[in-house]
Amino acid sequence: MKLFVRLAINVFALFVVEYLVPGFHLAGLWTAVVAAIVIGVVNTFIRPIVQLIALPISILTFGIAAIIINVLLFWGASMLVPGFTIDGFLTALVASLVLSLVSWFMHRLASD
């Protein structure tokens, strides 16, 4: 049951990002559901491996490289899902930050 609540929160967060960030587009509800699943899978399985490989660079750049890795993986997830588009790197950066904040806030509300 927790998994479905988390998925619903992430789908809602994606729609909030679409509303707030120009250049971030979702074709519809099912696109948002698939995008939330793909982002979750990428964050669970691929991101830790890439961040471990890039750990020396992240240490040298005081974590800036980790943020760039997150943005690039988020942008890459948009390329995998049809109907989910991000217009550019700056849009992906802003959308990634907004998605993190909205998702964090909604998960905090749901846990209380």
Mean pLDDT of the chain: 96
pTM of the entire predicted model: 0.93
Chunked mean pLDDT (size 10), the chain, 112 residues: 93 98 97 97 96 96 94 96 96 97 94 76
How high is the pLDDT of residue 111?
85
Q: Which residues contact 31 (CB under 8 A, 6 or more apart)?
A: 81, 82, 83, 84
How high is the pLDDT of residue 62?
94
Largest CA distance in the chain: 41
d(CA 108, CA 105) in angstroms, rounded, equals: 5
How high is the pLDDT of residue 52?
96
How high is the pLDDT of residue 45?
97
How high is the pLDDT of residue 1?
84
How high is the pLDDT of residue 28?
96
Every domain of the chain and the residues it spans = 2-111
pLDDT in tens, 7-19: 999 999 999 999 9
